[in-house]
């Protein structure tokens, strides 16, 4: 697949329309959502404005949901006009919504260039989690996942990543979204620049101000990205492991040939965790592939010395995927092997699988 390097807007776009899309993007005003609080402060300073203006604008955008400088009524009319000549505030549009029997809602969001991504709102007992995407499609090609089947179309900008949350908040004003997981379409650490900037906006008390503990980045194990995340501790880390040997992991996840288990676990051992925090290990359970008690014991040995909790995710089956889900007894047995060896292990209930909103099922309209 032909993928161009990052352009000024931070996109990577394969295919023949690259030049047209670039022209379209450069013709647009800069989206304020693509800027970190620090970028905005600098931008305003260059306009000769006082630093307090930054806090004022951030409050309007992220706390009060204003999408137009005209609505910022404590800013002079003249300044609002100057700002709107250079910037806009644009969030993805909701093109469709599906609601699952279990209350999970999947949103299809339309981006400026017509491409689409999916985000999911998952109501849990005490909180609501928003699962957002970081790429249109995915290049990782995990064999148990539908998202990767059409490859990567492009990276999302940081504004498009954060914009999904803003669009969902706007559509569901009564919902108090407390947790955000970057586990939707795409591999966040393959889009590290925009992921890091989006995290700043999600966490900064000046912007969305979500607790670091409640923001999670999930990766297949791109070691350079894990190191960059470690240098700037900003969110919780989840790693999609899914196997306890290189042989099985190579079969399930092509990334393992680049970053085999030994190197990945060494990177996790070196990952600086604040007191009381743990790395989440995601383990998609697949019948007759990675689900035996011996697999569980091998997993325990691999994880020795790393502060982790393990999420066991029985595979979400689909006709396009050549694997099946283990029975309940096998999953419970696997969990017991971990618990007996003092590893916290939780069996994740599949949420939204009837509307293809569960783990590994998002396709951003590509599969419709």
CA–chain centroid gap for 200, Å, is 14
Distance from C-alpha of 288 to C-alpha of 330, rounded to nearest angstrom? 10
Judged by beta carbon, residue 140 or residue 191, the one nearer ligand SF4 is: 140
The one among 83, 138, 153, 281 contacting ligand SF4 by CB under 6 A:
138
Q: Is 118 a catalytic residue?
A: yes
Judged by beta carbon, residue 165 or residue 313, the one nearer ligand SF4 is: 313
365: left (phi over 0), alpha (psi -120 to 50) or beta: left
Which region among 15-23, 120-128, 137-145, 335-343 touches ligand SF4 (by CB under 6 A)? 137-145
DSSP assignments along 296-338, one per residue: HHHHHHHHTTS-EEEEEEE----TTSS--PPPHHHHHHHHHHH
Q: Taking CB under 6 A as the rule, does residue 192 contact ligand SF4? A: no
Question: Taking the complex as a whole, how short is the minimal distance between the CB of residue 9 and ligand SF4, in angstroms?
Answer: 23
Q: Taking CB under 6 A as the rule, does residue 226 contact ligand SF4? A: no
Question: Taking the complex as a whole, how short is the minimal distance between the CB of residue 238 and ligand SF4, in angstroms?
Answer: 11
Mapped onto helix, strand or coil, the DSSP state of residue 127 is coil
Torsion over CA: 110, 112, 113, 119 (sign) = negative
> Total residues at the site for ligand SF4 (CB under 6 A)?
12
Distance from C-alpha of 328 to C-alpha of 335, rounded to nearest angstrom? 11
Q: Taking CB under 6 A as the rule, does residue 148 contact ligand SF4? A: yes
Q: Taking CB under 6 A as the rule, does residue 147 contact ligand SF4? A: yes
Q: Taking CB under 6 A as the rule, does residue 315 contact ligand SF4? A: no
Judged by beta carbon, residue 140 or residue 335, the one nearer ligand SF4 is: 140
Mapped onto helix, strand or coil, the DSSP state of residue 11 is coil
Catalytic-labelled residue, pool 54, 118, 138, 160: 118
DSSP assignments along 192-242, one per residue: HHHHHHHHHHHH-TTTT---GGGEEEEES--HHHHHHHHHS--SEEEEE--
Q: Taking CB under 6 A as the rule, does residue 360 contact ligand SF4? A: yes
Judged by beta carbon, residue 31 or residue 119, the one nearer ligand SF4 is: 119
Which region among 88-96, 117-125, 133-141, 317-325 touches ligand SF4 (by CB under 6 A)? 133-141
Query: Which residues lie across from 31 on neighbouring strands?
Result: 88
Are residues 360 and 145 in contact, defined by beta-carbon separation less than 8 angstroms? Answer: yes
Q: Taking CB under 6 A as the rule, does residue 136 contact ligand SF4? A: no
Are residues 214 and 179 in contact, defined by beta-carbon separation less than 8 angstroms? Answer: yes
Question: Taking the complex as a whole, how short is the minimal distance between the CB of residue 27 and ligand SF4, in angstroms?
Answer: 31
Judged by beta carbon, residue 308 or residue 315, the one nearer ligand SF4 is: 315
Please count the residues of the chain: 368
Q: Taking CB under 6 A as the rule, does residue 134 contact ligand SF4? A: no
Q: Give me the long-range contacts of 210-215 (CB less than 8 A, separation at least 24).
A: 210/178, 210/179, 210/180, 212/236, 213/277, 214/178, 214/179, 214/180, 215/179, 215/180, 215/181, 215/182
Q: Which residue is nearest to ligand SF4 (CB)?
A: 148
Q: Taking CB under 6 A as the rule, does residue 31 contact ligand SF4? A: no
The DSSP call for residue 274 is P
Judged by beta carbon, residue 32 or residue 268, the one nearer ligand SF4 is: 268
The one among 145, 162, 285, 331 contacting ligand SF4 by CB under 6 A:
145
Q: Taking CB under 6 A as the rule, does residue 188 contact ligand SF4? A: no
The set of residues, in sequence order, having a beta carbon less than 8 Å from that of 71 and lying 6+ positions away, is 60
Q: Please give the residues from 327 up to 346 whose contact with ligand SF4 meets the rule CB under 6 A.
A: none
Q: Is 131 a catalytic residue?
A: no
**By the criterion CB under 6 A, which residues form the site for ligand SF4?**
138, 140-142, 145, 147-148, 185-187, 220, 360
Catalytic residues: 118, 359
């Amino acid at each position: 697949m032909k993928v161009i390097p990052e352009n000024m807007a931070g996109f990577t776009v394969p295919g023949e329309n690259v030049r047209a899309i670039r022209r379209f993007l450069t013709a647009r005003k800069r989206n304020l959502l693509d800027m970190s609080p620090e970028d905005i402060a600098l931008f305003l300073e260059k306009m000769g404005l006082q630093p307090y203006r930054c806090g004022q604008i951030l409050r309007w955008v992220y706390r009060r949901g204003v999408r137009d400088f005209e609505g910022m009524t404590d800013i002079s009319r003249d300044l609002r006009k100057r700002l709107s000549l250079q910037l806009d505030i644009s969030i993805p549009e909701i093109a469709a919504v599906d609601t699952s029997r279990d209350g999970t809602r999947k949103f299809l969001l339309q981006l400026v260039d017509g491409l689409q991504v999916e985000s999911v709102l998952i109501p849990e007992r005490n909180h609501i989690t928003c699962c957002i995407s970081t790429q249109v499609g995915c290049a990782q090609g995990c064999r148990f996942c539908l998202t990767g089947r059409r490859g990567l179309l492009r990276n999302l900008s940081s504004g498009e990543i954060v914009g999904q949350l803003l669009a969902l908040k706007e559509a569901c004003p009564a919902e108090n979204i407390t947790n955000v997981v970057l586990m939707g379409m795409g591999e966040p650490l393959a889009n590290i620049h925009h992921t890091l900037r989006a995290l700043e906006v999600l966490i900064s008390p000046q912007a969305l101000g979500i607790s670091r503990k409640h923001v999670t980045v999930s990766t297949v194990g791109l070691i350079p990205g894990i190191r960059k995340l470690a240098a700037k501790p900003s969110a919780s880390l989840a790693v999609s492991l899914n196997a306890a040997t290189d042989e099985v992991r190579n079969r399930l996840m092509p990334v393992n040939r680049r970053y085999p288990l030994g190197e990945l676990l060494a990177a996790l051992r070196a990952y600086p965790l604040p007191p009381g925090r743990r790395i989440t290990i995601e383990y998609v359970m697949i019948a007759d592939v990675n689900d035996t008690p011996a697999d569980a014991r091998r997993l325990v040995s691999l994880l020795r010395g790393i502060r982790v909790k393990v999420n066991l995710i029985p595979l979400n089956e689909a006709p396009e995927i050549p694997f099946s889900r283990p029975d309940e007894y096998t999953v419970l047995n696997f969990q017991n092997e971990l618990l007996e060896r003092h590893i916290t292990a939780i069996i994740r209930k599949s949420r939204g699988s009837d509307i293809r909103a569960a783990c590994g099922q998002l396709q951003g309209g590509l599969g419709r």
